[in-house]
A and B are shown apart, each in its own frame.
Chain A
């Protein structure tokens, strides 16, 4: 197990921790925001705020780590394909991404106290787009092609712990550090050899410290003897805002090969985020979850993005999982099937055909399967398909398909053998 963890950590260290999709929408601010739930969540409508379960490693609510029985490591790799159609000009573009989607390592210290240490790295934003447009000549300027492309994003590293002071309550907290570079390369290529083309590289190097606190109330039936609460849990989290600071660097390529980078200090603000969720284990085989999350992105701003450029985001998602083969036969007869759905009013605004700017919404269907690789390790495959810009009135509409593959490795480093 330790060797496998090390191998994974090495693999992750050479990857870039920016996930999510390529979309021209991400050109605003520091990119498209994402929340890494877990490989479990991706099949269940990205939900899981209130789920306490062994094998469930979430980067959203640290209180859920109290449910882990043994040492675990999970890593996620994502592929996404995006078809963006711009109804203004009747053209479409296609983006294909393959990215490391995050990894978490958890170390349960005391199961009875729900004391677990965890840490990891997850993506926070994705800045990923390419726009290329031709321009006709004017009386003063020859025709040219404008190209703007964005790469990079912010990632989050974190360490934290969970703790259960009472059997029905789990608390968790984690320190987070966001950092990364967003890079926008813009070029102008003239259709005249006597003109010098424009090449401008604009990068922002940003970082900030933050934190998240969470709580899960579980086994509530044991408090007051309410049997109808058996298998029900409710949880919530609050993520502190990020006060970003860093450097904005402009590097132009000049005709005379002068290198004159222009650098200035910059800052930004990523608003707080909070959410609540419930989960219900209907029986040993079926569990349902439902989450609601909110983040007031209208308060987002950075040195060059005024507040109000983004919209307040609201997320509602849930799903059901069905465990098959539990309690009998080979472990390879066991599997978990998951389905879910989520709806989100995104951070993005788009123009409608009537010229109004409206908030883009999106709807995704999700499904996944998890199969065991050993008694404590599993592999998951999940898929998401959805539409961004549900109204046909939007000028930009996107179809998105995502595929997630993850491996969760578990081992009882600190579990005392029976009879000892």
Chain B
């Protein structure tokens, strides 16, 4: 069949009628319910490039390190000192309003194998460890704008060196550093920066065969784990980096038939900027994902991802193009959006986003254009 016409062919349209399911329709969340809740998946940050250590109100980040390459220490007749050097990835000495130079740490040698790929805050807390603090008094690390230097117990380092000889029955499972006060968070380059000179380093001063020597190892296995009990201001939910603390927004999409084609969808969020905890070290943006599993709160960019920077005019406003995400909700199940900070790992910054019980001008808004396209009539 060949339709030959040099203009829009509406012939018969009045007779046949347009399929009512093929008429684009508008959806505005103004008239539907939106449920906002907190989701805390508890991050395992072993694969990240930055390590966090410190504490801010309701939030704590612990660091785990395990150095290898300490064979020479085994032959040292005496260990004079040992220090761990972390190169900071963010130079501000007063992020989030705290002075990180006041940070105090405690550290404990671990007695068990750990894997950052699977651990959680709780599982790390259960790791067997030695009872004595291996961070030397007064436990104030030397924090400059470029590095954190922590003096540690030489006896622990001796045991790590001995572990290179299995006949000694000593072990080296590394150690955990924990903040002792709420004085901000430092971010440092992880082992993934190996070979750059920025990776975690241990420097051991010792005597070998009576001669002063220095053993340096840049070979380590590193990670950090964080937890939070943060509660944002009223009428908000929180999205926080470093802790897996995300927001879950579920709009009532029951008016949109299954298998509808989503032609356009825009999500708009507003932030409580007064109370947000923002260090300024990460991009000022949020991500929205499709939550594909309501039980585990799993999400993945394979289901689509939407990025929004702060609105350049109205600074507390975020606008996302979420057509692909809403399509997932219509086709696979409406488990809502997961909202995260764009940098979900490298710091402990928090954003407080107005939720569904905020005033209309501030609550989340979802506008959709869709084509039902479900059946022919």
Contact = CB atoms under 8 A, between A and B. Distances in A.
Interface of A: 22-25, 27-28, 84-86, 88-89, 91-97, 128-134, 138, 140-141, 144-146, 148-149, 151, 184, 186, 188, 190, 192, 194-200, 202, 248, 250, 252-256, 258, 260, 262, 304, 350-351, 395-396
Contacts of A28: 16
A260 B328 CA distance: 11
A128 B16 contact: no
At the interface, is chain B mostly helix, strand, loop or mixed?
mixed
Given A24-B15, A151-B1, 6 more contacts: A88-B13, A89-B10, A93-B4, A95-B4, A196-B263, A351-B14
B376 interface: yes
Contact of A131 (B10, B328, B331, B374): B10
Contact of B13 (A94, A131, A186): A131
B69 interface: no
Interface string B1-41: 11111011111111110110010111010000000000000
Contact of A132 (B10, B14, B332): B10
11 contacts: A24-B11, A91-B7, A92-B5, A93-B11, A190-B264, A196-B262, A197-B263, A198-B373, A256-B324, A395-B14, A396-B14
Nearest to B22: A186
Contacts of B331: 254, 258, 260
A24 B1 CA distance: 12
Interface in B259-278: 259, 261-264
Contacts of A94: 3-5
A308 B128 CA distance: 79
Contact of A198 (B3, B24, B321, B328): B24
B375 interface: yes
B371 A198 contact: yes
Question: Which 9 pairs show the lowest CB-CB distances between chains A and B?
Answer: A24-B12, A140-B26, A93-B11, A130-B3, A200-B373, A86-B11, A198-B371, A256-B324, A88-B14
Interface of B: 1-5, 7-16, 18-19, 22, 24-26, 28, 258-259, 261-264, 303-304, 321, 323-324, 327-328, 331-332, 367, 369, 371, 373-377
A87 to B, nearest CB: 9
B256 to A, nearest CB: 13
Q: Which one of B2, B9, B19 has the highest number of Cβ atoms from chain A below 10 Å of its Cβ?
A: B9
A263 B18 CA distance: 22
A249 to B, nearest CB: 11
Contact of B15 (A22, A202, A350): A350
Nearest to B332: A258
Given A133-B10, A145-B8, A262-B374, A255 B323 contact: yes
B253 to A, nearest CB: 15
Given A86-B12, A195-B263, A254-B262, A93 B5 contact: yes
B16 A27 contact: yes
A228 B227 CA distance: 108
Contacts of B259: 250, 252, 260, 262
Contacts of B7: 91
A194 B369 contact: no
B264 A194 contact: yes
Query: Considering residues A25, A89, A146, which has the most beta carbons from chain B within 10 angstroms of its beta carbon?
Result: A146
A395 B15 contact: yes
